[in-house]
Each structure stands twice: as structure tokens, then as C-alpha cells.
Amino acid sequence: MRILLIEPAKSPVSMAGEDVFLFEPLALEYVAAGVKTDHEVKILDQRIDDTVEQTLEEFRPDVVGITGYTVHANRMKLLAERAKAWNPEVLTVVGGHHATVAPRDFDSPHVDLVVVGDGVDSFREVIGRFDRCEGFDGIPGVWVRTDGGLQEGAANPSRDLDEIPFPDRSLTKAYRHAYYSEYMQPLASIRTSKGCPFRCNFCALWKIAGGRYLKRDPAKIVEELAEIDEEFVFFADDESLVDATRMKRLAELIREAGIRKRYFLYGRSDTIAKHPDLLELWRDVGLERVFVGLEFFRDSDLEFINKGSTTHNNREAVQVLQDLGIGIYASFIVRPDFTEEDFAEFRSYCRSIDLSFASFAVLTPLPGTDLYDEVEDQLLTRDPEFFDFIHTVLPTKLPLEDFYEQYYRLYTKTIPLKNVFAFMSKYRLRDVPASLAKFRRWSKRLRRLHIDYGRA
Ligand code: B12
Ligand code: SF4
């Protein structure tokens, strides 16, 4: 059986994704690993290689599997439609985060199956049954399209992560040089855990994992790390550092194995503030950057999202990382109801902590979150392409044009120039002009984003 797995390109409306970074399609590499031994599998990364029809024609798949987040939902359906237009007999399967939280959004005549939750075992079973010309009833997590619409599938509780095979990175060999996050290129990704013990109201990850924090055996993680060629490695976890004992063991095993890589991972500020010794240990085995959700500059806003951490934790965490010389990818949230005074206070807060890199996401009620249930009736649009954390999908207090002017100023006026230069010095010299040009184009569009709402 020939199986084509597609990582979709986002639509030109969305601003996240390949505009500013590109990560390997880890979900597809996992799904592929489950079927690769018995079948011929190809991964098409449409973000790099937009040759869908040509690939269908040349590879002639029996099955097309498509992944994606909420921003990709329209594109995923369109890809299924293109696959069916090429051959109505091809089996089309969608999976991934949006399929997990909103499977009914894929109730389309072009989508045969929707996989909710972990895909490796479910997809393997789908392929086995398809190969034997059997039906798909009763497969955990598999919703089946029938004449009466999309039929709900059986429950698909999260598996023990150590029972899942390693992702098959050989299938993205041709693309791997292109995966990056800022100066970290080429960049590989590895999953070491899943879920999170916290309960933020804008996040569905703790719900998807059934409220648990699932961890891989550190020895297996080290075994997988040893197989990764890239020097830069990103931990694609929901939250990597939260179990300090596990992370200490992992760092020790990495050191014992003599693996030298440059790591980038997610960490909560309260964990970092509480465990400077752990961060030091990690710095010594190669931790170079931490993605920290600082989120807001006021405790009342942190309480509003049920973050469970404080601005005091944030300041402490920034200090710990700065003292250790670990780079901070500070991630903040902008509330749509911010006034000009809020934006001004936000800018001065950011400047006061002397950051080198920051991203600002507009507070977005993603399907599957508590926040979504609270504010669904206020949505400006339900078009998934606007759910990129840059377009607001909730009404703003400021006129949209003023909101985006203020938002633009967050991106352009919060990082001291000396820090910008220091950060740019990490890039390969030949990449600097293109990276600056990319940011200029991106921020120019950001400033004028209100014009997109004509089509919402
Ligand atoms: C790594 C990561 C990133 C990376 C990029 C990853 C990438 N490939 O583009 C970075 C840090 C850059 C990033 C950025 C963003 N991200 Co992000 N990210 C993640 C994270 C932490 C891990 C993703 C991952 O690799 N998981 C590991 C794989 C193995 O797991 P999986 O995707 O769940 O796949 C399994 C199943 O879903 C299923 N499956 C998946 N696909 C398919 C396909 C088929 C055919 C089948 C059968 C099964 C199947 O099987 C897989 C194996 O079990 C997730 C959280 C999460 N738990 O998913 C958030 C997450 C995906 N990101 C999210 C968001 C919102 C964003 C941003 C928009 C944020 C922003 N402010 O810019 C951007 C946009 C990214 C984009 N590509 O456009 C949200 C998406 C929510 C949503 N409803 O869309 C998530 C879920 C986090 C959250 N807070 O809720 N992200
Ligand atoms: S800490 Fe991060 S992963 Fe955990 S619930 Fe909050 S946003 Fe989600």
C-alpha cells in the first residue's frame, strides 16, 4: 500500500508558521513510523515543496493522510478535496490537533476518516483494515464518514509514550536543512513528554492528555537523541521542565552518553525560578534557549487566564536565565481589550526586564479550551485561518487600526537595540540580511492587519 502524508502550507491570510519559523513535521514522522515496515510511505512538506498534484500523480498513493492545527483546517479539507479530485478511490484521513478538538469541522464529503487523539496505533489499524478491505468500525479515535455524515469513533485514551516507535526522520531527509527557529538551523524536534499538570483557560493540551503529564523514559529519549544528526534540537513538549527529577535524570544521561547538542525547550517561569540548579545543569549539557510563557505584565491578567504563576515568578525566572547566560524566548499575550495605556505599560515592562527576544500572541479562544466556551458568542469570525494568534478573533476595545499600530509597536519598541545586535550575532552572517528583510515584511503586514477584516 502506498501512503502519502502531507504537512499543509498555511493560507496566505494566516501569519503564523512558515513566515517566521519552520519545524519538522514530527506528528507525520510518528504516524509514518507506525506503518513504514509494511507499506511504502512518503511525507510531502507542502510548506517547502508545493507539488501536491505532481506528487499524487508520481507517487500514486492509496491513502492520503493530512495533519494540521486550527489555522490549517480549511487547507486540510482542500487538500483532501484535491486528493479526491485526482482519484475518488483514494482514502483520505485527517488527524492532528484540530481534528482532536473539533472533529466535526472535518465533516466534509472529501474526508473519509478523522483521527482524534494519538494517531500511531489508530492509523496502523486503519491501514491494516483498508489493506484487507475491512470496515473501520470500533478503531479507537477513528471517526468514519458515512452516508449519514461523520460517525463518532470509540474513545482513544493517550498511550504510554514509550510504547510508540521513534518518529521516522528518514522520510524528511530532503527537507531537514530547511527546518529552523530564528538562528537555530537546521533544527530537529523531539517529543519527551505530553500533557501538563496546569490548567490555563486558553489551552486545551491538559484536556487532550486527560489531565495527566505523560513522560518518556529518559533512557529512550537519549537513545533517540543519539540518532538525530542536527546540532540544534527543540523539545516539542507541552511543558518540558515541570518534573524537575525527570529532567535532572535526563540531563545526567545526556552527559553520560557524551551527546553534545544545543537545546531549545519550553519551561514555566515558576519551575525555572524554583530550580536554578536544574537550569545550570541543563546549561552545562547544552541548553541554549528556553521558551517561557511570561504571558502578561500584571498579576490580574495572569489570574484571568488561570496561569498559576505570578509576575514575581517571571522576574525571578528571567534573572535565573540571564545569570546563567541561557537565551530567553519570551512569549507574551495581548488582550484584545487592551487600551493605549495598557500597551504603554506593557512596553515599559518588557524594556525593564531587558529581553533579547519576545513574541506577542493575541489572546485567542481556541476550540476545545475553557476560554472558547466562555466567549464563543463574541467571536468576530469563525474562519480558522484567523486563529493564528496574530489576528484577533475577539472584539478590540481600540479601533482595529489603532490596536494593530500598538501591537506593531510591541514588536518594534520593546527590545533594546544592543540586545537586537547581540541576538543577530548568533545568526550565520550570510542569513542576516534575509532574516531582517523577512521580519520587516512581516511587521509591515502586521501594522496593516486591520485590512484583513474586510473578508472576515
Ligand atoms: C512544537 C509546537 C510548535 C512549534 C512548531 C511545530 C510545527 N510543526 O509547526 C512552534 C513552537 C514554532 C509552534 C508554533 C505555533 N503553535 Co504550536 N505547538 C507545538 C507543540 C508543543 C508540539 C507539536 C508537536 O510536534 N507535537 C508532537 C506530535 C507527535 O503530536 P501531535 O501533533 O499531537 O500528533 C499526534 C496526533 O495529533 C495524531 N496526528 C497528528 N497528525 C496526524 C495526521 C494523521 C493523518 C493521523 C492519522 C494522525 C495525526 O498523531 C500524532 C502522534 O500521536 C503543540 C502542542 C501539542 N501537544 O501538540 C503546540 C500547538 C500545536 N501549537 C499551537 C499554536 C496555537 C501555535 C501557534 C499558532 C502559536 C503562535 N502564537 O504563533 C504557532 C503556529 C504554528 C504553525 N505551524 O503555524 C497550538 C495549536 C492549537 C490549535 N487549536 O490550533 C498547540 C496545540 C499548543 C496549544 N497551546 O494549544 N508550535
Ligand atoms: S502551562 Fe502551558 S501547556 Fe500547561 S496548561 Fe498552561 S499553557 Fe497549557
From ligand 2's centre to the CA of 271, what distance in Å?
13
Reported as a single tens digit per residue, the pLDDT across 193-203 is 999 999 999 99
Cα angle: 323, vertex 197, 30; to 5 degrees: 90
For 202-252, what is each residue's pLDDT tens digit?
999 999 998 899 999 999 999 999 999 999 999 999 999 999 999 999 999
**What is the C-alpha to C-alpha distance for residues 100 and 158, in angstroms, rounded to an integer?**
12
For the purposes of burial, counting CB atoms within 10 Å of the CB of 113, is it exposed (0-12), middle (13-18) or buried (19 or more)?
Answer: buried
- Name the residue of 97, 191, 201, 203 whose CB sits within 8 Å of the most ligand 2 atoms, as the mutation to test its pocket: 203
Q: How many CA atoms lie within 13 A of 169 on its CB side?
A: 18
Contact 73, 384 (CB under 8 A): yes
CA distance 20 to 419: 19
50 pLDDT tier (thresholds 50, 70, 90): very high
Q: Which ligand is the nearest neighbour of the Cα of 204?
A: 1
First to last CA, the chain: 41
How far does the centroid of ligand 2 lie from the alpha carbon of residue 337, in Å?
22
Residue 130 C-alpha from the chain's centroid:
30
**Would you say residue 456 has pLDDT above 70?**
no
At residue 255, the pLDDT reads 98
User: pLDDT tier at 20 (50, 70, 90 boundaries)?
Assistant: confident
Would the CB of 68 count as within 6 Å of ligand 1?
no
| Contact indicator for 268, 278 with CB cutoff of 8 Å | no
Amino acid present at 415:
I
pTM of the shown model: 0.97
Q: Is the dihedral of CA 360, 362, 367, 368 positive or negative?
A: positive
Distance CA 12, CA 221 (A): 36
Task: Please state the atom number of ligand 2 nearest to the C-alpha of residue 238.
Answer: 3
Distance 355 CA to ligand 1 centre (A): 26
Confirm if 210 and 255 have CB atoms less than 8 A apart.
Answer: no
**Over 80: is that where the pLDDT of 155 sits?**
yes
What's the mean per-residue pLDDT of the chain?
96
Q: How far apart are CA 107 and CA 276, in angstroms?
A: 48
In this structure, the residue with its CA closest to atom 83 of ligand 1 is: 70
Mean of pLDDT values over 101-116: 97
Closest ligand 2 atom to residue 196 Cα is 4
Atom 68 (ligand 1): residue with closest C-alpha?
Answer: 388
pLDDT (0 to 100) of residue 21: 93
Q: What is the pLDDT of residue 454?
A: 80
Please give the number of the atom of ligand 2 that sits closest to the Cα of 206: 5
Tell me the CA distances in angstroms from 430 to 187, 196, 425, 427, 436, one per residue in order: 17, 39, 11, 8, 11
Cβ 366 under 6 angstroms from ligand 1: yes
Q: Which of 69, 70, 291, 366 to mutate to test the pocket of ligand 1 (most atoms within 8 A of CB)?
A: 69
What is the 307 CA–ligand 2 centroid distance (Å)?
A: 7
| Nearest partner of 3 among 128, 111, 117, 114, judged by Cα | 128
Cβ burial of 357 (10 Å; 0-12, 13-18, 19+) is: middle
159: left (phi over 0), alpha (psi -120 to 50) or beta: beta
Which ligand is closest to the CA of 206, given by its number? 2
Rounded CA separation 309/98 (Å): 27
Ligand 1 atom nearest to CA at 126: 47
Atom of ligand 1 nearest to the CA of 21: 12
Where does the pLDDT of residue 455 fall: very low under 50, low under 70, confident under 90, or very high at 90 and above? Answer: low
Q: Ligand 1 pocket, 123 CB below 6 A?
A: yes
pLDDT band at 154 (very low <50, low <70, confident <90, very high): very high
Could you read off the pLDDT of 330-365 as tens digits, one per residue? 999 999 999 999 999 999 999 999 999 999 999 999
Which ligand is nearest to the Cα of residue 309, counting in written order?
2
Nearest ligand, CA of residue 366?
A: 1
Q: Does residue 204 have its Cβ closer than 6 Å to ligand 1? A: yes
Query: Ligand 2: which atom is nearest the Cα of residue 203?
Result: 8
Q: Are 238 and 196 in contact (CB under 8 A)?
A: yes
**Nearest of 279, 267, 281 to residue 238 by alpha carbon:** 267
Give dist(CA 270, CA 89) in Å, integer: 52
Distance, CA of 96 to CA of 101 (rounded, Å):
9
Looking at residues 83-91, what average pLDDT do you find? 98
Instruction: Specify the pLDDT at position 431.
Output: 93
Distance 247 CA to ligand 2 centre (A): 18
Backbone angles phi, psi at 233, to 5 degrees: -135, 130
Decide if pLDDT at 19 tops 90: no
Q: Which residues line ligand 2 (CB under 6 A)?
A: 196, 198-200, 203, 205-206, 238-239, 268, 293
Share of the chain above pLDDT 70, in %: 99
Ligand 2 atom closest to the Cα of residue 204 is 8
Is residue 278 predicted with pLDDT exceeding 90?
Answer: yes
Q: Look at the chain and count its residues.
A: 456
